[in-house]
Amino acid sequence: MSFDLETGALDASSPSEWPLPYPVASQPVVNTAPSIEAAPAVIYDKLILPGDFPDPTVTKIGDTYWASATSAEWGPVFPLLKSTNLVDWEVVSYVFPDKLPEWADCNFWAPEISHENGKTYICYTARKKGKRGQLCVAIASADDPAGPYTDHGPLVGQRMGSIDGFPLRDENGALYMVWKEDGNAFRKDTPIWAQRMNESRTALLGKKVELFRNDTPWEGCLVEGSAIVRQGEYFYMFYAGNGCCGKCCNYATGVARSKKLLGPWEKCPQNPILTKNKTWKCPGHGTVTEYEGRWFLLHHAYYTNSHEFVGRQGLLSEFTWNAEGWPEFVNSSPQAEPLRDLRVLNVDDNFPGNRLSAAWQWPVSEQPTVGVSDGQLLLTARSTGLGALVAQRTFTATYKAATTLDYGALAPNTYAGLAAIGDPHNALALVAGNGHLQLWHMQGKKHLTLTEVKLEDCKMLSLRLEAWGGSRFRFAFSTDGGTTWQPVVLDSFALNGTYLPPWDRGVRIGLLAQGPETTTVAFNNFALRNCR
């Protein structure tokens, strides 16, 4: 069953969940021999992690590829995805599904997944608790790549911050950690460091050694996101330079090489080797992998048409090795095509079973009390800010979303609604409560009610939002099961949501419950329809 955004009706002919197939495209290989039919050359350059999946990482364990990505301020923290072909992925679990590491509270960035001697390791960045908590590199481990993971705490946290850890062995088999010192946060250079690590991966040993830093014009204020692979007699470090995020980003990817891990390192004369084109902007921060003898970088980039409103999406870009031994990408830019059929990313959730689907997220600092029962999502209210939130990624800049809530069971002084959310402090929300419908505008610490409409008695109330270009929003409601929709009338045609996305994240669409923490709100469905 699915929710029709135009009529509000349930359509039994639609699947309850859209699969996420990204079929492998092909193109012919030119063959001049007329008697032999040429085999197609399979194209793997694709958008494989649509939506906000920054800083993706990938490794092969047995015959399965495992991936993760930055969570930033959304939980559950660090999704774990698996694939057998690098193209079709499913979320299996999370590194920290419901409890954060005791030492950390935010900035869950740049996981790096690796596997050795039967153990899977997640090297990640997070910020220590406390007023002056530093960014630190830490490690968690598991006997199964799907978890559960045991956190081993921070390995390094310099005064200016330490991020983007990458563990590997040097030419002699000694275990090292490579990371970036986050000097750009203090208008300083950003050295890439390496230091020995013990075999249990719980402590660094000896002294750190600088490999290189940002010293060429294209790298701008930083180098970061190291991913190292050994090919032939060299270590190759793929890394990102310049500004990662937001509408003014100028990120790109470079590569350096060295015969020994501790250097000397030589930067490629053709850097940056991966940069923007008309379709994708600011490609960077990825991990190298192989498939069927071919080489790929899984990295993020902004889709130009939706940019910061959707966020940095996960792309697979193939490269080859040139005669001088350097990696090369076609046209030095991502060749992935945008998804042709956005319907594969539509969402229909009627809350079957007894737990939320893995697509739902929440603010890491405000994990809600949420459950699923008898076809309803049950969200316990929170009295501060927007209230308790659960949300899903958006995939395009133009879309519609809707939900139906059990309005007749709504407790006094409790509000329930549908919202476009940048973070818990920046949102546009249509909410119902106390016999009224309100449109909330929250920007920073300023919370305004833009309009209020008196509601007639009804058992079920449907709410809908529409977005254009990522930044323009309109809202509507229905009290008759979606037979008729009434727009929320404003002074302007649409609300301006340009301010919504934070510098490093895309917009989510969420359900909220605001009010006494003794009350619970019931939602009957959620639907998202993507448009060009």
Question: Which runs of E-coded beta strand occur in 18-76?
Answer: 25-27, 41-43, 46-49, 57-61, 64-68, 74-75
Q: What DSSP element (H or E) covers 310?
A: helix 307-310
Contact 307, 76 (CB under 8 A): no
Question: Rounded to whole angstroms, how far apart are CA atoms 90 and 366?
Answer: 26
Question: Rounded to whole angstroms, how far apart are CA atoms 279 and 313?
Answer: 12
Contact 214, 241 (CB under 8 A): yes
Nearest to 303 by CA among 398, 390, 422, 221: 398
Question: Rounded to whole angstroms, how far apart are CA atoms 222 and 236?
Answer: 19
Sign of CA dihedral 78, 79, 80, 81: negative
Question: Is 158 in a helix, a strand, or coil?
Answer: coil
DSSP single-letter state for residue 184: G
Question: Rounded to whole angstroms, how far apart are CA atoms 409 and 375?
Answer: 15
Contact 141, 119 (CB under 8 A): yes
User: Among residues 52, 73, 182, 224, which one is catalytic?
Assistant: 224
Residue 308 designated active-site: no
Question: Rounded to whole angstroms, how far apart are CA atoms 133 and 119?
Answer: 30
Q: DSSP characters for 453-472?
A: EEPPP-S-EEEEEEEETTTE
Question: Pairing state of beta strands 162-169 and 175-181?
Answer: antiparallel
Q: How many CB atoms lie within 10 A of CB 19?
A: 8
Task: Say how many Å lie between the first and final Cα of the chain, rounded.
Answer: 24
**Position 503, amino acid:** W
Question: Is 307 in a helix, a strand, or coil?
Answer: helix
User: Among residues 45, 52, 55, 181, which one is catalytic?
Assistant: 55
DSSP single-letter state for residue 337: P
Residue 456 designated active-site: no
Sign of CA dihedral 321, 226, 500, 356: positive
Please return the burial class of 4, using the count of CB atoms within 10 Å of its CB with bins 0-12, 13-18 and 19+.
middle
Question: Rounded to whole angstroms, how far apart are CA atoms 90 and 84?
Answer: 10
Q: Which residue has the tokens 């600092």?
A: 365
Question: Rounded to whole angstroms, how far apart are CA atoms 454 and 410?
Answer: 15
Among all residues, which ones are annotated catalytic? 55, 224
